[in-house]
Structure 1
């Protein structure tokens, strides 16, 4: 049996502001933007060059969902953005106004820094350590 996760939901206040952040600031690709009536859209973004499932940007539709925008995991890092060049992406993100919560650091698993998205959710920008071949 083979299973995969098709997408992960990312609750947003507004579709268009979220699309702009992910595509312009983080450089993600807009994979799909399909309207389902006047209020609902199926919007998927993913990192450039990725063939993996992406983030489903889901507009908050209830007060409970709205309360979760920016606090989807209770203050923990929720998403781990892997890169093949940490310093390239750190510079690019910084130049585009991304707020990092601390200095980059070397860990046993790679080079990492935590950043906030447009709503304040926490992400790791991570270049995994490569094992010598």
Structure 2
């Protein structure tokens, strides 16, 4: 069986992304390696041992391909990644009080509720919760 082990998201600034994804979104650091010349290899994942094999790689996004890719997605209003939450409205309110900017608040979108936020490092992120 093939499983997702790691996926990446290109970011403007890896240290700032690491802070946002851990301190604001609540992920935990799985790997943080100093590679020299100010380069970092950073992965984060769900806290508390949830999804222990699944990691999000915060990839440096300063190269021609990544810059075009991120800019095109952002300008089109398309999220670069989707995260699930148990209670979208509560998470939306928690993140708003922390100053997170949303491009759209929670709304019904077919079989799910969704909201889209700006991760402050070049990406839109969708939060989703299945409808009951």
- Scaled by the length of structure 1, what TM-score is found? 0.80
What are the superposed Cα offsets for residues 18-71 of structure 1, whole Å, 9 maximum, x if unpaired? 111111111111111012333433210123343151211122353x15624853
Question: Contact 1:72–1:78 (CA<8 Å) still a contact in 2?
Answer: no
Which structure features the higher share of helix residues?
A: 2
In structure 2, C-alpha distance between the alignment counterparts of 1:103 and 1:17, rounded to whole Å:
24
In structure 1, C-alpha distance between the alignment counterparts of 2:120 and 2:46, rounded to whole Å:
16
SS at match of 1:84: coil
- Scaled by the length of structure 2, what TM-score is found? 0.80
Task: Find the counterpart in structure 1 of residue 95 from structure 2.
Answer: 93
In structure 1, runs of 5+ residues without a counterpart are none
Task: Find the counterpart in structure 1 of residue 55 from structure 2.
Answer: 54
Cα distance change on mapping 1:129 and 1:115 into 2, 3 Å: same
Q: CA RMSD in A?
A: 2.3
In structure 1, C-alpha distance between the alignment counterparts of 2:68 and 2:18, rounded to whole Å:
18
Structure 1 residues 1-133: aligned runs within 5 Å? 2-49=1-48, 50-51=50-51, 52-62=53-63, 64-65=64-65, 67-68=67-68, 70-71=70-71, 73=73, 75=76, 76-130=78-132
In structure 2, runs of 5+ residues without a counterpart are none
Q: What's the CA shift for 1:109?
A: 1.3
SS at match of 1:71: helix
Higher relative contact order structure (alpha carbons within 8 Å, sequence separation ≥ 6)? 2
